[in-house]
Structure 1
Amino acid sequence: MGGSRGGASGLSPAQAEIMEIVWDRGEVSASEVREVLSATRPVARNTVRTLLERMEEKGWLRHREEGRTFLYSAAQPRRATIGQKVREVVDTVCGGSAEALVAALLDDRGLSAGELMRIREMLAQARATRAKKGGS
C-alpha cells in the first residue's frame, strides 16, 4: 500500500483533516486544531500534539515558536494531497490504470467544454515535456 513517494509520506484520515484546518487558517497552534476537531468529537490534547509532530516529521508541516507555543503552517501545498488521493484511487479502485480512472470520469460525470479545453492543454503540455525528455 501507499508509502513515501518522493517528498512527504501519505497522510492518515485524521492527518488529512488537520491539513485542511491548517490550509484554511494558514497558521495554527495545537490548541486551535484541538478546538476545531473537538466540535465533532472528543480529542485529547496529546493526540493532537502527536499528530502534528508526526506530520512535521513527514514533511507536511513546519513550525515556528512564539513564546512557549508552536505555530504550525503547511509545508506542502493542498494539491499534494489531491495527488496522493488520486494515486490511491488508481491503485485500489482502478487496478493501477489511470486510463480506467479517466474513462470512469467521462462515463459517470462528463466534462464541460471548459474542462475539456483545459484537459487538452494539459495533455499537450505533458506531450511536449515528454518529447523534451526524449520519451515516446
Structure 2
Amino acid sequence: MTNNVITLNNGVDLPAVGLGVFQTPPHETTTAVEEALRAGYRLIDTAAAYGNGAQVGEGIRNSGLSRDEDFIETKIWISDYGCDATLHGFEKSAAKLGVDHIDLVLLHQPLPSTSRSMPTVR
C-alpha cells in the first residue's frame, strides 16, 4: 500500500485508501481488519449501523499497530442526529470499538431540513 493521504481543511491527514466493513459479517470482520492493517491499509471505515464495531476494534488491537498508526472513520446513524444525540452516538461507537478516540465522525446520510440542530464542536 502507498501512504497517499488527503489533507483535510483542519490539517488532519486522511488516508486515501481504506477498508470498509459494510456488510462484513461480524465473524469475518476481526480477521479482515487485522489483515488489512497488516497489509498496509491505515483507514478503517465503519458505522454504527453496520453492527460489527466490536469486531472492528478487536481487529485493530490484534493488528499490532499502535492506535496512532491507524485512522478510524465512523458514521452516526440518523436516530443520533442532533447535538446531544450525536455526542451520545459518538460515545456509543467509541465504546463498541474499544478505542479512546475516533479520527473522523460523519453523519451517515443527509436528511431534509429538520428542526434538530447539527452537532457543534465543544
Instruction: Give yes or no for TM over 0.5.
Output: no
Q: Provide TM-score, normalisation by structure 2.
A: 0.25
Instruction: State the structure with more CA Rg.
Output: 1
Q: Which has the higher strand share?
A: 2
Q: Which has the higher helix share?
A: 1
